[in-house]
Structure 1
């Protein structure tokens, strides 16, 4: 259980509005977002019982447990709030005032364009190589066809930004292609870390939470009508 291993769940729950907004607006990988969130969290605020033999935090343990919890929390949060007027206003404000920031010369969309420019050729290369090595043949059983198409689908499907590195096919690409993607991701990681450090955003999201609670209270409750049983 995540609660027994570390306190990442509590930190994530407290910061769910911010993490959900960043994920929804940027399309950034929940896996990487969980990892970056823990890395920008002060170590004195982070309690992870298991450490490496050298005394360092076991980041893999933290990332694995935090990722599962973060994905669950942001999914629930977005399902409840994404269509509300307060969230949509905050999303528009975030896109206009935060994703346009040029922390080191480029705004977020420019960094994403660079990343996708590198990701596309890598996926094309691996896809073409896979099709050449694993062609559809007449003697394939339905199960073999399904497995082959499933593996091909993992290459073809659109991933969250940064998730490509979690797939086995990524390591099958030429080294320079992997390096180009990873380098583009490093800049996006830095941008996301800057967003996580934004204190003004914390204040604005606090106001958003208050407005959301007020919005919920103003929703008229359906009055329960009492139905009298007919006398026989």
Structure 2
């Protein structure tokens, strides 16, 4: 059970449409996205006062709690809307309009391509180093081979943008590679922060939500079953 220790849960729930659209179109790490989102609020907005015998105190956000909030809300939102025509149209509108903005000279696709171009050499370096240090030998048992291949797979798999920094092997790469990736992420973070502050997007999402509620309200009710009269 997720404990609602502060207003993060309420803020994520209230803005889940915007967060879902950004996540689905940018491929940014869910953990990174929700962290950027919460940075746009003041402590006064985030903290939930709790009354105690000594007065009021604030429950702080525990590690990964906001990420758990977001995963739960995102799963529910996508289940309800992944085939909704209004939501799908909003996704295309968002990609062609908001991700095409050039807040500081480049659109989002350029920043994402630049990130992937810097991430791949880092992954290749770590992968080659891992294979050199941990080769498969005749003396290895099937279990040992499976464990070794599983670790190798974590390096090879495609990550959400920014997720690579959460893995231990990230710090095993040369410092200049890590710095290049971090710098590319800084530009992406700044771009996402600009999108999160787009008032026009908030207005458009409010209209989408209103239309979806009206469609539900005006949808034909299930025909009542004809009551069989006994003779």
TM-score, scaled relative to structure 1: 0.88
Structure with bigger helix share is 1
Matched with 2:29 is 29
User: Whole-Å Cα distance in 2 between the matches of residues 162 and 226 of structure 1?
Assistant: 58
1:166 is aligned to 2:201: no
Residues 215 and 62 of structure 1, relative CA distance in 2, 3 Å threshold: farther
Q: Give the aligned partner of residue 135 of structure 1.
A: 135
- Within 5 Å, give how 1:196-211 maps onto structure 2: 196-211=196-211
TM-score (norm 2): 0.88
Counterpart Cα distance in 2 of 1:160 and 1:171: 18
Where structure 1 has 5 or more consecutive residues not aligned to the other structure, the ranges are: 51-56
Runs of 4+ in 1 over 2 A off after TM superposition: 1-5, 214-228
Q: Which residue of the partner structure matches residue 126 of structure 2?
A: 126
Question: What is the CA–CA distance in structure 1 between the aligned matches of 2:63 and 2:201, rounded to whole Å?
Answer: 24
- 1:43: how far off? 2.4
User: Aligned Cα RMSD in Å?
Assistant: 2.3
**CA distance in 1 between partners of 2:216 and 2:146 (Å):** 46
Larger strand fraction of residues: 2
After TM superposition, the structure 1 = structure 2 runs for residues 171-186 of structure 1, keeping only pairs within 5 Å, are 171-186=171-186
Name the SS for the 2:103 alignment partner.
coil
After superposition, the Cα gap between the structure-2 partners of 1:175 and 1:217, relative to the gap in structure 1 and judged at 3 Å, is same
Map of 1:98-137 to 2, 5 A cutoff?
A: 98-137=98-137
Q: Contact (CA 8 Å) 2:2, 2:68: kept in 1 or not?
A: no
1: CA distance, partners of 2:142 / 2:167: 25
Equivalent pairs, count: 221
